[in-house]
Amino acid sequence: MKKLSAILLALVLVLSLSAAALADTLTIAIPNDPTNEGRALLLLQSIGALTLSEDAGITATTKNIVSAVADIEFYEVAAENVPNVLPDVNFAIINNNYALDNGLNPAKDGLAIESADSPYSNVLCVKEDNKDTDLTKALIAAFTSQKIVDFIASEYPDGSVVATVEAPTDGFDATVDYEALKGTTVSIAVTPVPHELIAKIAAETLAEKGITLDIKVVTDYVTPNDFVEAGDIYANYFAHIPYQENFNAENGTHIAIVAPVHVEPMAIYGGQSSDLNVLLPAAE
């Protein structure tokens, strides 16, 4: 079914893009979820490709575009599918976890990249009722350890992933009764890269205290929150702060952000075009 959906998506895009090509229009694929679409448009605005209305914020949509340097047609698709349509569009703006998972590196392959100093830190989350438990405190300490910070710096020296932990721990929280938690298995939903890799480092730390971190890998941005809200999974680690806050507001969920861990700068990649100048104001 997933393969059939991808084929149908590609067919629709090919037909649409053929029409766009005849009109001499530049095509750009962007994520279709609220905060990531806004994030992509804000990146385009930051390089001068377009201007958004003054009231546009992190949930900006294409309706907020006031002007653009070029004639642009946007293709809004699920974030996980943006890499799949890159060959069929002029440009695509891809979330970094999906870029890395598809062999793209924003620092090397990106034509334009966000500053690492952004509000989009990826966060560890649990259900609101669990935010102050010893188990959550143990998770926070493991995910904000110096070991995690060092791993990110070593694994991503090019800055494609940057740690945002302000006060690294030794992996443990002195207020937690680890003896009482010994033998506990705690489940966490994560997206593949880099979240799964970072979670495995945290799992090593928790194992030292006899706690098993059961890592469940998912490939979309909805089910991790659904799992936590339903109580099927204890924690998740996949979303950035604006996405999580917006998800709670739109869906009435009660998922608490408990620790920022890292940021993944979003980038623009070339598909059928490699010259970003076609999107930029002409030099005076």
Cα 53 to Cα 64: distance, rounded to the nearest angstrom? 5
The 121-127 sheet, strands edge to edge? 162-163, 255-263, 121-127, 235-240, 185-190, 212-217
Residue tagged 């914020």 (tokens)? 57
124 in helix, strand or coil?
A: strand
248 occurs within a structural domain:
yes
- 71 and 17 in a single domain? The answer is yes
Torsion sign across C-alpha atoms 96, 87, 38, 253: negative
Is residue 238 included in any domain, yes or no? yes
Pairing between β-strand 91-94 and β-strand 26-31 as defined by DSSP bridges? parallel
In which domain, by residue range, is 13 found? 2-114+267-279
Q: Structure pTM? A: 0.89
Shared-domain flag, residues 57 and 128: no
Asked whether residue 237 is assigned to any structural domain, the reply reads yes
Q: Is residue 109 part of a domain?
A: yes
Q: 221 and 131: one domain?
A: yes
284 domain residue, yes or no: no
Per-residue pLDDT, 284: 52
Query: Are 26 and 106 found together in one domain?
Result: yes
Determine phi and psi for 3, rounding to 5 degrees. -65, -40
Asked whether residue 139 falls in the same domain as residue 84, the answer is no
154 within some domain:
yes
Tokens 């991790």 label which residue? 224
Helix/strand/coil percent split, the chain, to 5: 45, 25, 35
Q: Running along the chain, 284 residues long, what does each successive block of 10 average in pLDDT?
A: 45 48 80 97 97 95 97 97 98 97 95 89 98 98 98 96 97 98 98 97 98 98 98 98 97 98 97 96 70
Do residues 77 and 29 lie in contact, with contact meaning Cβ atoms separated by under 8 Å?
yes
CATH number at residue 214: 3.10.105.10
Is 106 found in the same domain as 128? no
* Torsion from C-alpha of 109, 92, 196, 4, nearest 10 degrees: -130
Query: Are residues 240 and 176 both part of a single domain?
Result: yes
Beta bridge partners of residue 213, listed in sequence order: 186
Task: Quote the number of domains for the chain.
Answer: 2
- Give bridge partners of residue 237 from the DSSP assignment: 124, 190
Residues 181 and 106 in one domain: no
Half-sphere exposure of 139 (CA within 13 A, CB side): 30
